[in-house]
Amino acid sequence: MTRARRVPSALSIPSPPEGERVRVRGRRPLALGLLFVLAVLSASAVAAHAAPRPDQCVLCHRGIEDAHPKRPLTCTECHRGDAKAPTMEKAHAGMWANPSDLRIVSQTCGTCHKTIAQKVKASIMAHRSGTQSGTLFPNGLQPTREDVRFSMAPEPTRPAEFLRPKGHPPKGHPPVPGTVPHLEPLPTFKQSGDVFFDLLRKECTSCHLWTQAKGLKGNFRATGCAACHMPYGEDGTYAGGDQAMSKTKPGRPLRHQLTKAIPVTQCATCHNGGSRAAMNLRGMMEAPPVGKETFTYDQDLLHGHSYTQQIPDVHFTRGMACIDCHTEREMHGDGRIYAKRHYEVEVRCENCHGTPDRMATGLTSQGRRLNNVFVGTAPNPANLVTLVTKLTGQVLPIPQLAALPTQPAGHDALHLKKLECFTCHTAWAPTCYGCHIKMDYSAYKAPVDVAFDHLANEHSQQGWFRLTAGVRFADPEPVLGMSWRGKVVPFVSRAQPLFTYVNPAGQTEYEFKKFGFAHNPIVPHTVTKAVRTCASCHGNPRALGLGAFTSKEHPKLEEFRQPREYRWDRIVDEEGRPQQATTVEGARPFTKDEMDRIRNAPYKTPAPAAAR
C-alpha cells in the first residue's frame, strides 16, 4: 500500500522512510547533540501547526515583496484580515485588497501620512472638477466657468481637515483665488434627469483616484495612493516574486511595492486622453482606426488606440519623466478645493531655464524649492544649474537663457512678456475635430445591463453612449489664443460633440444636434529646441483663430452633417467675436485689435532663393 506523500511545512523536518534507521556516524556526543536539535526543531514545527505565527501570510505568499521598504509593516497593518487563520477563506475575511483606496485611506496610509491623505482627497487629482465643469458650462448646466458645484467622486468633497477650523475662507479673509468651499458628487440620471450628468458618470469618470480604470491595455492601475505609487505594467500582469499571485491574470501591479519613482507609463493610465500629456511627451498621437483596429477590445490596443510616432518632447529624450518637473504640491494639492487645474500647477519654464536677464533660481512660481534642481553658488560664473532625474539619478545641465552669447529674435522683451515659452517651442499639439455621441435611453422590457456607472461602481440598465471620434492629428502649427495669464498660447478643441438622442420609447428625438463647442488653451508637452516660424503666426489666419479646416480638407467630417463650408477650427471671426466657448476663466480668442497688431508686426521671413 502506497502512503500519501506529506508536504512538509516551512518549519518541519522530513522523517526518514519507514523501516530505515537514522545512522549517525562520528563521535557520540555530536550525534546526541544533533538528535537533541532535531527533537527541538520537530517540537517547534508541531507547535507552529498548533498555534499559527503572526506572519502566517508568507506561508502562502512566499517571495512577496515588502510593500513599504522604508518602514516594514505587517500584512494586516495595511490589509487587515486574519494572519493567524488556518485557511485562506478565514485569513482573507474582512481584508482590504487595496488599503490605499480613498474610502478607507484615513484608516491606513493616513494614520502616518495624515496631512497628505487629507490633501489628496481635496485635490483635483481626486475630484476632477475641471473635467466635468468643462462639459457642463458650454452646455448651459453651469452658470460660470468657475462656479463648480460637482465632483467626480462618490462622496462630498471638503477641504482638508487641517484647514476647516479656520473656515473657508478664514473669517475676515477673502477666498484664495480659484477655490470653492465644497463639491457634491455628480447626480445620477434618476436624480438629475439630464443626459449630460449621466454621460459624465458613465464615460468620463474612469480616470484618477476614486474609480477603477477601464480594462484596456495601458490603463491598468489601482485607486487611491496606489494609483500612482504602485506601478502597473501595460498588460496589467504581475511580475514579482509572490508564488501565490498569478502571472497571467490582468489587474495586478508589477510588484507588491510602493515607490516614489513613478514612470511616465503610470501617469499615462489617466493622462492618455484630454490634453494627452503623457502620450505627447513620448511623441505618440492616436491615429484614426482602420480595418481590424476598429475592434478595440479584440485587438487589445494601447489605451484603445493605434498610434503614430511624432516628435517627442526634448525633456523626455534627455531622460526625464513627469515627476522631474511636476512637484509634490501639484500632485497632492494643498488641502483646498480648486475649480480648475491651472490653479494647482506651480512649475514654469523660467523656474529652471531663467530669463535672458537672470539665471534660474530653482524656485517654483509659488516660491517652493525644486528639490532636484541645483543652482551653483554665487557668483557662479559658469552659469551652472543642474537637474538630477528622479528615476535614474542622471545629472543633466540645464541650459540658461542668460548664458546664451546672443539672444534669438523671439527672446526680445516684448515676446517674452506676451508669449509663453512653449508657444514657439511646441513641435505639435494633439488636435481632434468633431465627435458624435449617440445617447440611447430605450427602456427594455427585459432588464439588461447596458452601461457602467463608475461612480456607483455598478451596471446601469438604461442609458448607453456610443462615441464616434472625428479627425485626429498632430497639428504642427496649432491655433493661438490668450491664456488665463494674459499670454499667447496654443489652443485646441476642448469638445465638439454632436448628439443623437433616443428616448425611452426607442424614438429618435434629434440627430447630430450641435450643442456647446469649445476651444481651450493647452500646454502640449512637446517642447523642442526648434521653434515654429514667425510666418506661421504673423502671416497665418488660422493661427489667429479664423479657421481653415472644413469637410473639404477632412472628408471624414462630412459624416457629422454640418454645412460643408463650416470651419471646425474657427474660434473667432474677423471682428473679434468669439465663435466657440472657452471653459477657462480669463482664456479667450484674440480681439480684432490684437489680430491686427499680430498681422502688422514686423518679422523676418526667409529671403527668396534667387536673392541669397
Q: In this structure, are 68 and 159 located in the same domain?
A: no
Residue 24 covered by a domain: no
**Is residue 12 over pLDDT 60?**
no
**199 shares a domain with 70:** no
Written as one string, the DSSP assignment of 10-64 is SS--PPPPTT------S-HHHHHHHHHHHHHHHHHHHHHHHS--TTTHHHHSTT-
186 pLDDT more than 50: yes
Domain stops at, among 323, 348, 363: 323
Residues 529 and 467 in one domain: yes
Nearest to 120 by CA among 202, 214, 254, 227: 227
CB 545 within 8 Å of CB 572 = yes
Tally of CA atoms within 13 A in the half-sphere of 46 that contains its CB:
6
Residue 394: inside a domain: no
Please, are residues 201 and 188 in contact by the beta-carbon 8 Å criterion?
A: yes
Give φ, ψ of 466 to 5 degrees. Answer: -120, 120
Residue 542 lies in a domain: yes
Number of domains in the chain: 3
Question: How is residue 590 written as a grid cell?
Answer: 484674440
Q: Return the H-helix or E-strand segment holding 196.
A: helix 195-203
Stated pTM of the model = 0.87
pLDDT value for 41: 40
The residue with cell 466657448 is 581
CA 149 to chain centre: 22
Whether residue 481 sits in one domain with residue 452: yes
pLDDT tens-digit series, residues 529-567 = 999 999 999 999 999 999 999 988 888 899 999 999 999
Q: What is the mean pLDDT of residues 103-123?
A: 97
Specify whether 139 is located in the same domain as 265.
Answer: yes
421 and 303 in a common domain:
no
155 and 82 housed in the same domain: no
- Grid coordinates representing 351 are 523656474
DSSP H helix total and E strand total for the chain: 20, 16
Of 399, 475, 403, residue with least CA distance to 433: 475
211 pLDDT band, cuts 50/70/90, is very high
**Of 25 and 88, more confident:** 88
Q: Which residues pair with 468 in a beta bridge?
A: 436
Helix, strand, coil percent content, the chain, rounded in steps of 5: 25, 15, 55
Identify any residues that bridge with 475 across adjacent strands, giving them in sequence order.
429
Of 2-6, 148-152, 353-357, where does mean pLDDT reach its minimum? 2-6
The whole-number pLDDT of residue 380 equals 86
Tell whether 509 is covered by a domain: yes
Q: Is the pLDDT of residue 165 over 80?
A: no
Q: Are 543 and 439 in contact (CB under 8 A)?
A: no
Alpha helices, DSSP H, located in 338-488: 349-353, 413-418, 421-425
Q: Are residues 78 and 119 in the same domain?
A: no
* Residues of the domain holding 85: 57-92
Residue type (1 letter), 182: H
- Give the model's confidence band at 208: pLDDT under 50 very low, under 70 low, under 90 confident, else very high: confident
DSSP 200: H
User: H helices of 489-574, where?
Assistant: 535-538
Confidence of residue 525 (pLDDT cuts 50, 70, 90): very high
Alpha helices in 80-178 (DSSP H): 88-92, 114-122, 124-127, 129-136
**Confidence bin at 427 (pLDDT 50/70/90):** very high
Residue 467 and residue 415 share a domain? yes
Q: Are residues 62 and 137 in the same domain?
A: no
The stretch 332-339 carries a mean pLDDT of: 96
**Is pLDDT above 80 for 25?**
no
* C-alpha grid cell, residue 550: 472644413
Helix (H) or strand (E) holding 76: helix 75-79
- Grid cell, residue 58, equals 508568507
Q: What is the 3-state secondary structure (H, E, C) of 378-417?
A: CCCCCCCEEEECCCCCCEEECCCHHHCCCCCHHHCHHHHH
Non-local CB neighbours of 4 within 8 Å, separated by 6+ positions = none
User: Each residue of 347-396: pLDDT tens digit?
Assistant: 999 999 999 999 999 999 999 999 999 998 888 888 899 999 999 999 99
Do 52 and 84 meet the contact criterion of CB atoms below 8 Å apart? Answer: yes
Angle at which helices 195-203 and 129-136 cross, to 10°: 150
Question: Residue 529: CB partners within 8 Å, gap ≥ 6?
Answer: 314, 425
Per-residue confidence at 505, pLDDT binned at 50, 70, 90?
very high
Query: Domain check: are 166 and 301 in the same one?
Result: yes
Residue 330 maps to a domain: no
What average pLDDT does the structure give for the chain? 87
Is residue 479 within 8 A of residue 571, CB to CB? The reply is yes
Give burial (CB, 10 Å; 0-12/13-18/19+) of 434. Answer: buried
Torsion angle, CA of 17/19/25/31, rounded to 10 degrees? 80
d(CA 356, CA 413): 9
Bridge partners, residue 363, by sequence: 369
Q: Which of 323, 352, 378 is the last residue of a domain?
A: 323
Neighbour tally for 293: CB within 10 Å: 15
Q: Is residue 544 domain-resident?
A: yes
Q: What percent of the chain has pLDDT over 70?
A: 86
DSSP 8-state code for residue 471? E
Residue predicted with more confidence, 397 or 6: 397
Beta-carbon contacts of residue 122 (< 8 Å; ≥ 6 apart): 157, 158, 159, 160, 333, 335, 336, 337
Residue 522: closest CA among 423, 433, 417: 423
pLDDT at 47: 39
Rounded Cα distance, 426 and 317, in Å: 15
Instruction: Examine residue 610 and state whether it is found in any structural domain, yes or no.
Output: no
Residue 230: closest CA among 78, 57, 395, 56: 78
Bridge partners (DSSP) of residue 472 are 432
More confident residue, 167 or 440: 440
Q: Residue by residue, what is the 3-state secondary structure of 572-608? A: ECCCCCECCECCCCCCECCCHHHHHHHHHCCCCCCCC
- Structural contact between residues 314 and 529, judged by C-beta atoms closer than 8 angstroms: yes
Q: Is residue 6 part of a domain?
A: no
Q: Is the pLDDT of residue 43 over 60?
A: no
H or E stretch at 458: strand 458-460
Q: Residue 178 CA to chain centroid, in angstroms?
A: 21
Query: Which residue among 71, 92, 113 closes a domain?
Result: 92
Q: 468 and 524 share a domain?
A: yes
pLDDT interval class at 46 (50, 70, 90): very low
